[in-house]
Amino acid sequence: QVQLAESGGGSVQAGGSLRLSCASSGYSRSFGSMAWFRQAPGKEREGIATILSDRTTSYANSVKGRFTISRDNVENILHLQMNSLKPEDTAMYYCAADPRSHYGPAAYIPVDLFAYWGQGTQVTVSS
């Protein structure tokens, strides 16, 4: 059974940084696609960053230049370095993975393309 587990969320002041990680288990090969989504209260879940097994990346405009996605293909571990955080970054952050490679802008990638999801980690940014 494939499982994803996020860690690294928390509370930070505007301008601060956080590093999220997502550890996977139960999958012996490298995922074709891994991604970070987030969902703020009352809003739909949105893709913010994706990375493929060939390390192709895509970012939503809202996080481009501030967030960096990276992955360890051997261990299937995903990271998200978040700098210059803003109050509007406050949300539940989810890790997602899929065996297939999904190309396209992170902001428009459908959630149902990803077979595996973590439980989420809360990020709160205060002004």
| pLDDT at residue number 71 | 95
pLDDT over 90 (residue 76): no
pLDDT of residue 107: 87
- CB proximity list for 51: less than 8 A, separation 6 or greater: 33, 34, 35, 57, 69, 70, 71, 78
Model confidence at 104, pLDDT cuts 50, 70, 90, reads confident
Tell me how far apart the alpha carbons of residues 32 and 127 are, in angstroms, rounded to a whole number. 37
Q: Dump strand ranges (E) for the chain.
A: 3-7, 10-13, 18-25, 33-39, 46-52, 57-59, 67-72, 77-82, 91-98, 116-117, 121-126
Position of tokens 């995922």? Answer: 31
What residue type is assigned to position 69 of the chain? Answer: I
- How far apart are the C-alpha atoms of 105 and 49, rounded to whole Å? 9
Q: Is the pLDDT of residue 8 over 90?
A: yes
Instruction: Determine the pLDDT at residue 74.
Output: 80
pLDDT tens-digit readout, 81-102: 999 999 999 999 999 999 999 9
Looking at per-residue pLDDT, the higher value among 29 and 33 belongs to: 33
CA dist., res. 124 & res. 97, Å (int): 24
pLDDT tier at 69 (50, 70, 90 boundaries)? Answer: very high
Tokens coding 70: 């990276």
